[in-house]
Amino acid sequence: MGNSWACFTPKGITFTKKPSKRLPNSSSTKRTRKEDEKLEFDDALIHQQALTAAFLLHQHQQNGSLPLNLNRSTSVVYQSTAAPKNLPKSSSSRQRSRTDHSLIQPLQLVNKDLNVDGLETIHFVLVHGGGFGAWCWYKTITLLEESGYRVDAVDLAGSGIHTFDTNSITSLAQYVKPLTEILEKLRDGEKVILVGHDFGGACISYVMELFPSKISKAIFIAAAMLSSGQSFLDMFSQQTGSNDLMQQAQKFLYTNGKDQPPTAIGLDKELVKDFLFNQSPAKDVALSLVSMRPIPFGPVIEKLSLSDAHYGSIRRFYIGTPEDCAIPVALQENIINTNPPEKVFWLKGSDHAPFFSRPQSLNKILVEISQIPPKQA
């Protein structure tokens, strides 16, 4: 994930976490016992909300439905138009960007006037990034389905609730098998819109080469948009400089012994908070910390073979994330310039996880792309 792949050798670099700066007279230096108990309660509540969200997502994967009252907003959602009561502040100290409206009524989240009839396809397939799973799309799933779209969020092999051992995955073919199975089951003439985040960009590139006639559009969200002959590792090794925090967050796993190449890459979940989720709500950060799994190493270094006739025939769109600390804007621009898509969108205020930090803005762009008519032959 991000430019950490440029320095994938597991040589340690000493990392010292800098102490937070506090003013001498800051109230945070002298907390009462009551305030400490409240912070502990807030943390427990956030953790419980995250576990509940994960459970609901697992239910959705099993029975194909999400409860309509699932809170998918980055903000507080009130159930009535009455004046809201004062709510306790979050215990998170992370600064939030405020480009999405701070208070959004439930009815505003539904595109009531949206007409999906006559579109080339209303079927989205969402592909998560490295370490994530289908669970990360729970807000996007809800928003798209309420707008009339059909949505599949896939757990790639060894990800999410998929039971395969991550350390046993040695190729992209193995890793993306759950995705290829979805495309193989499509009826003749049926198409989907593929959406890939982060390492998911390499995954959708791989299947674009295999199933060009079944893919209407491909959308890359802060993702690897590869050229032929490149691997995910190659893409990020182009960036100059290094990110010490990202390198320190990597934990290489050696199931076959230290004298063999790594089998997977784990992430230090305490260190990833501030470079993956620096604009995301605390409850979504908590959900991620209890749900993320290691990334198989083999697919990361596999070079793709992409042709103009197959991969190149599919319309590509890129969604950039300006507040991204994992894949900085300079690297995203390099990805775009190296392999230009049809159109680029920038999600103002988004960190590396726009499905958490800017779900409604992300949904708006996904809907807009779906409504772009087919090119005339």
Strand partners for 123: 150
* Of 123, 128, 197, 352, catalytic: 352
The total of other beta-carbon atoms located within 10 Å of residue 115's CB is: 9
Burial class (CB in 10 A: 0-12, 13-18, 19+), 95: exposed
In the numeric block, which tokens belong to residue 361?
A: 């803005």
To the query of whether residue 352 is one of the catalytic residues in this protein, the response is: yes
How do strand 123-127 and strand 150-154 relate by DSSP bridges? parallel
Q: What angle, rounded to 10 degrees, do the helices at 269-276 and 282-291 form?
A: 140
HSE of 97, CA atoms in CB hemisphere, 13 A: 20
* Of 152, 284, 324, 351, catalytic: 324
Name the strands in the sheet holding 150-154, side by side, starting at the edge strand that comes first in the sequence.
150-154, 123-127, 192-197, 215-221, 315-320, 343-346
Query: CA 138, CA 112: separation in Å to the nearest integer?
Result: 20
The total of other beta-carbon atoms located within 10 Å of residue 206's CB is: 24
The total of other beta-carbon atoms located within 10 Å of residue 33's CB is: 7
* Of 198, 234, 268, 308, catalytic: 198
Q: DSSP letter at 349?
A: T
To the query of whether residue 198 is one of the catalytic residues in this protein, the response is: yes
Which residues have C-beta within 8 Å of that of residue 1, sequence separation ≥ 6? 129, 130, 131, 198, 199, 246, 267, 276, 295, 326, 327, 352
Residues designated as active site: 198, 324, 352
